């Protein structure tokens, strides 16, 4: 499915006389991908994806709905999966909302991607409660305003070794011009080089210059006690899905029984989600294996130890403990 097809399918759920022009949205996405650059919003950098204009709009001009849900994460840590879990928690399975939101698997719902026209599309789609996404650090979001508006934010994190493997594999299919020097430096084609670029802060996706995934986590960890922010771990969702689903449901204000949580756990297993949504994403092979511990097939001992060292240094003083195997 391409951008045009997926956005047209969404727009079709809006009465024709109210339907926004999707042309500007498509143009913004294509320009962003075909013209890779390190874009900056204040101290924060966005190499390859994300646009300062959209970050600024989300921070200063966006008027969220009172019951909006925003799933936040660093790329390839479980954002799409967790949004699908929320979709099963929030919507009736035979509802119009459940039907059209399954197409929102790509960049359609990320606050920082595309153009402001996308926000108009969100306003007109027939949903009563929106499940949106972002890869932005906490400092790039107007958290005070979101909290006052009643927005719930779920931040999902994943062990960095599996995150690197998943991002490396997906990066091969991202529609960026591969001959571009910036693309090659941010997303090297050799795995060892890729990991080193990540550790050296050369990817700095939605973080400050020289920072990386662990710094992204720390920006959200600082808000772990905010009453509208919930932190979850990818590996916990894999290992004990039903209790984690109950935790998410309670956070979202949804009453749910253990039996209901078990059913949702089965319907939203990574394998089931991948099978259901694989053809709805705009990136080929967007879903990888979703396993915990696949990093062992890619990392040398020395490379693994470099990651361990950075985790120990960066996350010292926190209670964050990654699970690298289950």
Tell whether 320 is covered by a domain.
no
3-state secondary structure of 319: coil
In this structure, what CATH number is given to the domain that contains residue 308?
3.40.50.300
Structure-token match 């960026």, residue found? 176
In 3D space, the residue among 299, 302, 278, 320 whose CA is nearest the CA of residue 162 turns out to be 299
Q: Count of domains in the chain?
A: 1
For the residues of 204-233, what is the DSSP string, one character each? Answer: -TTEETT--HHHHHHHHHTTTTSTTEEEEE
pLDDT digits (tens, 9 = 90+) for 119-132: 999 999 999 999 99
Sign for the CA dihedral angle at 71, 217, 222, 137 comes to negative
Question: In this structure, how many other beta carbons lie within 10 angstroms of the beta carbon of residue 18?
Answer: 10
Owning domain of residue 240: 3-314
pLDDT digits (tens, 9 = 90+) for 9-34: 889 999 999 999 989 888 888 888 78
Residue 73 has pLDDT above 80, yes or no: yes
254 Cβ neighbours under 8 A, 6+ residues apart: 89, 90
Tell whether 14 is covered by a domain.
yes
Specify the range with the lowest mean pLDDT, choosing from 96-105, 179-188, 278-287: 278-287
Contact 137, 222 (CB under 8 A): no
Q: What is the pLDDT of residue 174?
A: 78
Q: What is the pLDDT of residue 277?
A: 58
Tokens of residue 214, six digits: 């662990």
Residue 278 has pLDDT above 60, yes or no: no
Contact 165, 295 (CB under 8 A): yes
DSSP class of 269: S
Q: Is 275 left (phi over 0), alpha (psi -120 to 50) or beta?
A: alpha
Reduced to 3 DSSP states, what percent helix, strand and coil does the chain have, rounded to the nearest 5?
Answer: 50, 10, 40
In 3D space, the residue among 69, 51, 175 whose CA is nearest the CA of residue 116 turns out to be 51
Give me the sheet containing 152-157, strands edge to edge: 131-134, 69-73, 152-157, 229-233
pLDDT digits (tens, 9 = 90+) for 214-251: 999 999 999 999 999 999 999 999 999 999 999 999 99
pTM of the model: 0.92
Tell whether 323 is covered by a domain.
no
Tell whether 56 is covered by a domain.
yes
**Where are the alpha helices (H) located in 91-208, listed in sequence order?**
96-101, 117-124, 143-149, 160-171, 181-186, 191-199
Q: What is the pLDDT of residue 1?
A: 46
Average the pLDDT over 86-114 and give the result: 88
Tell whether 75 is covered by a domain.
yes
Give the DSSP H or E segment for 304. helix 301-314
Tell whether 209 is covered by a domain.
yes
Tell whether 324 is covered by a domain.
no
Q: Which residues of 298-320 are buried (b: 16+ CB within 10 A; e: fewer)?
A: bbeeebbeebeebbeebbeeeeb
Tell whether 322 is covered by a domain.
no
User: How many angstroms separate the Cα of 324 from the Cα of each of 130, 151, 171?
Assistant: 32, 32, 22
In degrees and rounded to multiples of 5, residue 232 shows phi and psi of: -130, 160
Give me the sheet containing 38-41, strands edge to edge: 38-41, 44-47, 207-208
Q: What is the pLDDT of residue 62?
A: 96
pLDDT level of residue 2 (50, 70, 90 thresholds)? low
């Amino acid at each position: 499915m391409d951008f045009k097809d997926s956005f047209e399918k969404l727009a079709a759920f809006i009465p024709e006389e109210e339907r926004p022009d999707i042309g500007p949205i498509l143009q913004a996405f294509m320009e962003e991908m075909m013209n890779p650059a390190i874009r900056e919003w204040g101290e924060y950098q966005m190499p390859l994806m994300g646009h300062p204009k959209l970050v600024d709009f989300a921070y200063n001009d966006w008027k969220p709905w009172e019951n909006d849900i925003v799933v936040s994460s660093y790329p390839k840590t479980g954002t799409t999966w967790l949004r699908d879990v929320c979709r099963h928690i929030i919507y009736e399975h035979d509802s119009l909302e459940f039907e059209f939101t399954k197409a929102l698997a790509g960049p359609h719902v990320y606050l920082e991607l595309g153009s402001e026209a996308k926000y108009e599309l969100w306003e007109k789609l027939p949903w009563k409660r929106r499940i949106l996404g972002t890869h932005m650090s906490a400092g790039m979001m107007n958290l005070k305003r979101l909290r006052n508006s009643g927005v719930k934010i779920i931040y999902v994190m994943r062990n960095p070794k599996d995150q690197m493997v998943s991002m490396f594999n997906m990066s091969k299919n991202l529609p960026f011009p591969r001959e571009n020097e910036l693309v090659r430096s941010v997303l090297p084609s050799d795995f060892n080089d890729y990991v080193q670029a990540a550790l050296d802060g050369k990817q700095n996706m939605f973080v400050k210059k020289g920072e990386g995934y662990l710094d992204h986590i720390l920006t959200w960890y600082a808000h772990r006690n905010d009453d509208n922010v919930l932190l979850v771990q990818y590996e916990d969702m894999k290992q004990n899905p039903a209790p984690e689903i109950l935790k998410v449901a309670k956070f979202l204000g949804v009453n749910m029984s253990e039996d209901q949580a078990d059913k949702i756990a089965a319907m939203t297993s990574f394998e089931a989600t991948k099978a259901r949504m694989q053809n709805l994403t705009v990136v080929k092979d967007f879903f990888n294996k979703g396993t915990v511990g696949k990093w062992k097939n890619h990392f040398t001992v020395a490379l693994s130890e470099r990651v361990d060292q950075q985790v120990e240094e960066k996350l010292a003083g926190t209670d964050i403990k990654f699970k690298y195997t289950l």
